[in-house]
């Protein structure tokens, strides 16, 4: 770990509370296990919050945005200017993540940690720019140590500010042209796994584009043998990926469930889990992305996603769709009658 960054301490779960929550769930007016994985989710939410009456009312999705120097190498089917354009769409309230957040009653906040453009002030925008895009990781480290630490801290601060503003669940999303390339390199080193198994089509590549992307990432991987999580983020990651790692740790440090979106958000969380293994227990993995490599990432995390809808958009869309499941799981503990109320004492 770098001297510039140390992850926050995370509380261990209370075994007595776990037994109590399991007994509460098992004692509800239903056959034991009849609600399947929602029962496990109810226990997990209670353990994260440290309470026998879990609750998820307000939820916030943090969309971390940053550009990538790797885009200079043609690793994306879209130009870097699309990052700023999409951030503008998020702030207009008309992107997919906005529509889904409105549908489930979640707030949207966009955190600029590395967009290569000047963004106007907006009530939903958190200005935390470390630099206007990373350096080209095929040629040099994507970030300096100080920049990587600053991005981690920006994510931690954004998540903890949202929690202090009342959020009882933090969903993690992202926007950054070229970030599937960076996430592939992070997965390659931290799973670890063969690079060829980690590289997918991202926002859309034909065969020639895929060949070019694979060649660029092979060259980038050969440039550094980094394997420690902070150094992997510094060498190959993006400001938004590092910020996601910090946000996951920041939310968990305040005993708040972390709802993880797809491939890029998963890369940030993978780095954070490698820094602080206890973090995995604080994370709810929303879905299995259609992006190649995501199944491998989930396996590396020991994670079982809640659903598989073939999503591969990013933005936090899949994480937002999981929020109602967390709310339902919490209400199972607090709102459902006990079996004894229905059939009487044994």
Q: List the catalytic residues.
A: 315
Could you please report the per-residue DSSP string of 159-188?
HHHHHHTT-SEEEEEEE-TTHHHHHHHHHH
- Tell me the C-alpha to C-alpha distance, in Å, between residue 3 and each of 7, 10, 148, 154, 344: 11, 19, 12, 17, 60
Which residues on neighbouring strands pair with residue 125, listed in sequence order? 110
With contact defined as beta carbons under 8 Å apart, do 275 and 7 qualify? yes
Residue 224, both tokens: 């550094």
Alpha carbon separation from 36 to 112, 266, 306 (Å, rounded): 39, 24, 11
Asked whether 42 and 25 are in contact (CB, 8 A), the reply is: yes
Return the bridge partners of 308, or none: none
The structure tokens listed for 135 are: 């350096």
The half-sphere exposure of 35 on its side-chain side, counting CA atoms within 13 A, is: 21
Q: Degrees (nearest 5) of the Cα angle 168, 172, 177?
A: 160
Q: What whole-number distance in Å separates Cα of residue 255 and Cα of residue 310?
A: 30
């Amino acid at each position: 770990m770098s001297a510039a960054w140390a992850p926050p301490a995370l509380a261990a779960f209370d075994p007595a509370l776990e037994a109590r929550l399991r007994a509460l769930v098992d004692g509800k007016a239903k056959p034991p296990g009849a609600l399947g994985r929602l029962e496990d989710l109810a226990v997990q939410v209670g353990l994260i919050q440290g309470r026998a009456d879990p609750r998820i009312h307000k939820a916030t999705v943090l969309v971390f945005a940053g550009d990538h120097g790797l885009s200079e190498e043609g690793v994306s089917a879209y130009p870097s200017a699309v990052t700023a354009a999409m951030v503008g769409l998020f702030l207009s309230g008309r992107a997919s993540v906005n529509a889904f957040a409105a549908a489930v009653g979640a707030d949207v906040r966009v955190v600029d940690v590395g967009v290569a453009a000047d963004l106007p002030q907006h009530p939903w925008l958190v200005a935390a720019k470390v630099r206007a895009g990373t350096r080209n990781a095929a040629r040099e480290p994507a970030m300096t140590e100080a920049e990587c630490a600053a991005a981690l801290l920006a994510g931690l601060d954004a998540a903890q500010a949202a929690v202090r503003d009342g959020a009882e669940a933090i969903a993690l999303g992202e926007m950054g042209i070229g970030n599937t390339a960076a996430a592939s390199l992070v997965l390659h080193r931290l799973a670890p796994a063969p690079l060829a198994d980690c590289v997918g089509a991202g926002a859309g590549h034909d065969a020639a584009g895929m060949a070019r992307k694979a060649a660029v990432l092979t060259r980038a991987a050969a440039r550094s043998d980094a394997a420690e999580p902070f150094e992997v983020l510094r060498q190959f990651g993006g400001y938004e990926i590092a910020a996601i790692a910090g946000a996951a740790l920041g939310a968990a440090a305040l005993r708040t469930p972390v709802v993880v979106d797809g491939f890029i958000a998963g890369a940030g969380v993978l780095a954070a889990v490698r820094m602080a293994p206890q973090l995995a227990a604080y994370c709810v993995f929303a879905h299995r992305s259609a992006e190649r490599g995501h199944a491998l990432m989930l396996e590396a995390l020991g994670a079982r996603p809640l659903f598989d809808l073939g999503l591969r958009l990013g933005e936090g869309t899949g994480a937002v769709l999981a929020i109602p499941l967390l709310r339902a799981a919490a209400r199972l503990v607090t709102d459902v009658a006990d079996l004894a109320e229905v059939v009487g004492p044994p």
